[in-house]
Copies of this chain bind each other. A is one copy, B any other.
């Protein structure tokens, strides 16, 4: 799993990443592994002291730990304030990097009015539309389709089969995974009651999508372009797979969302928020900074205080669940019988 034959010593790792070494500086590391599976030539990490028992049993040659977990250990350790962060940086050394050669693959179809800067890599079977620009150092993987008036910044990577529909501007070092679709029409429809049976007409979607530096966008995630102004992701926003970001949404810097989150139109989300998997956020809301939403919760009103928010009910065996769930329809009757005012204890 490591680049062919690459090794580095524990001492070199300590120096490169500013970590404190305990033990054998000369111990070679040729890869990484879990505490349970790593062997003497591999490095592992202990992020949570709760699992300290696994440390004793681990055959890993080197382990990254917190200072408190290093005490009394007679093995080669690298001490870090945040072992998971340190591990991540070390593990990156062992990640095989696909070589994206600069230049335009002969099977790519690049519009005459598109600009591909020297040093950009355009993979096989890519399509690039009019007035789009791919910066030097950007990499457009196989099967991507880039429409009109898009801009991909330096160091950004579209892994494969990504679509930027129209007026999508990516900053630098943005990573977009396969199947993602950015800049499709926002879902704007208006019911036209004049002339014949009422029918929908389309509200033109004249805005674009703007994605800041260092964002990551997961596989099959969709981000629609704005109706009039842009849909915006500020920098360092991290989106997992199959997330839906509707038109006119604005997501603040450093906010992360787990898979399958849905954010409805024109909602603004703050910085450093963490949205749990499959949560929903209704439209036209404002969520302040540092809000956490637990998995599958539905946010139906604006949130003005940092903190963690939830909705939903606990899991039960279905028989118990049916018996209790049917009573949910009587909750108001129950409360009235107990003479609870509508606004009571929460």
Residues of A within 8 A of B (CB): 1, 32-34, 37, 81-82, 84-85, 87-89, 91-92, 94-96, 98, 105, 107, 109, 123-125, 127, 129, 141-143, 145, 147-148, 159-161, 163, 165-166, 175, 177-179, 181, 184-185, 187-194, 197-204, 206-207, 214, 216, 218-220, 222, 224, 228-229, 236, 238, 240-242, 244, 246, 254, 256, 258-260, 262, 264, 272, 277-278, 280, 282, 292, 294-301, 305, 307-335, 337-338, 340, 342, 344-346
Contacts and interface: CB of A to CB of B under 8 A. Distances in A.
Contacts of A222: 179, 218-220, 241-242, 259
B277 A264 contact: yes
Given A310-B315, A342-B326, A84 B190 contact: yes
Given A161-B161, A206-B1, A219 B189 contact: no
A39 to B, nearest CB: 13
B91 A203 contact: yes
Given A206-B94, A278-B262, A313 B315 contact: no
B309 A187 contact: no
Contacts of A160: 127, 145, 147, 163, 165
13 contacts: A85-B193, A88-B204, A143-B143, A145-B160, A160-B163, A165-B177, A178-B184, A262-B277, A301-B315, A307-B318, A309-B317, A314-B329, A329-B346
A324 B331 contact: yes
Contacts of A296: 280, 298
Contacts of A192: 82, 85
A204 B315 contact: no
* Minimum-distance CB pairs A-B, first 7: A333-B345, A310-B321, A308-B318, A127-B142, A327-B331, A187-B240, A181-B219
In the complex this chain forms, how many copies of it are found?
3
Contact of A277 (B240, B272, B280): B280
Contacts of A344: 329-330, 333
Nearest to A340: B330
B295 A282 contact: yes
A346 B330 contact: yes
A176 to B, nearest CB: 10
Given A88-B202, A187-B241, A214-B199, A313 B316 contact: no
